[in-house]
Amino acid sequence: MIAATTATTGEQIAKQLGQAILQGHYAPGERVGEQAVAEMFSLSRGPVRDALRILERQGLVEIRPRRGAYVVELALNDVADIFNVRCALLSLAVRYLARNPDKSALAQVEPRLAQLRQLAAQEEPSLLDFAQATGRVAIGLLAACASAKVIQTTYRDLPHDALWRMLWVTPQPPDYVRPARRADTFQDYALLLAALHAGQADGAEALMRKIMADTRDEVLHYMAQSHDDPVDSFRQQVY
């Protein structure tokens, strides 16, 4: 059943299907049938088509004319690209925020940072909760950005949410396991917000890139244990 939310029905279906694909419920090359998905969610086929088009933009399925949608295998280079594009968008957002003399929009980020601080202080928080809290800080920065329309639209098409959910439900999550890692992540975001208030665009961007690169590299290291394909080294050297 689709829960009530501000997202469209197609976006909600895409999120759930994307998570299922990343968790291996659909094998690479497997067909995702419109009718089967429509019956699964008790919906018409229209929202399902919207969902499949979203998944195609995310690179999780390929829609073949007159044949339907088929699951695309997510290579490690694709994962690196997801994080790098995410980093580029967030870097632009924090530069806008730092250069903007009106800092009032940053007030909406403070409660999200406070929640991250609370989780970082716990000895054994839910790692999924912590990962999602870091994501909420990032989304808060995008929402506060003076040019949020284009950035948010592009950012929303990245499958990082489904990717993280897939990784965090595993017995040994790839990131934030160590308390020191969680504390460092909170500290990086706290320093980032301070740099934004101070109008330090270069410092804020450097911190944003560090946060994204640290997570990217830990996720890639973890996924490499079950993938045979290599990661191009230059993809890990851009940030």
pLDDT tens for each residue of 162-218: 666 666 655 556 678 889 999 999 999 999 999 999 999 999 999 999 999 998 998
Q: Residue 4 — very low, low, confident or very high, per pLDDT cuts 50/70/90?
A: very low
- DSSP 8-state secondary structure symbol assigned to residue 171: S
Q: Where are the domains of the chain?
A: 9-71, 76-236
Q: How many CB atoms lie within 10 A of CB 45?
A: 14
pLDDT at 68: 93
Report the share of the chain in percent with pLDDT over 70: 90
Q: How far apart are CA 26 and CA 126, in angstroms?
A: 27
pLDDT at 44: 93
CATH of 76-236, one of 1.10.1200.10, 1.20.120.530, 3.40.50.2300, 3.40.50.150: 1.20.120.530
pLDDT at 5: 52
**Higher pLDDT, residue 4 or 222:** 222
Q: Do domains 9-71 and 76-236 have the same CATH topology?
A: no
Using alpha carbons only, how large is the chain's radius of gyration in Å?
19
CA angle 148/154/159 to nearest 5° reads 125
- DSSP 8-state secondary structure symbol assigned to residue 176: S
Q: Are the C-beta atoms of 181 and 134 separated by less than 8 Å?
A: no
pLDDT at 97: 95
Residue 129 CB partners (closer than 8 Å, separation 6+)? 119
Beta strands in the chain (DSSP E): 31-32, 61-64, 68-71
Q: Residue 161 — very low, low, confident or very high, per pLDDT cuts 50/70/90?
A: low
Nearest to 142 by CA among 108, 195, 93: 93
Beta strands in 102-207 (DSSP E): none
pLDDT at 96: 94
Decide yes or no: CATH 3.30.70.270 for domain 9-71. Answer: no
Q: Are the C-beta atoms of 197 and 103 separated by less than 8 Å?
A: yes
- The mean pLDDT of the chain is 87
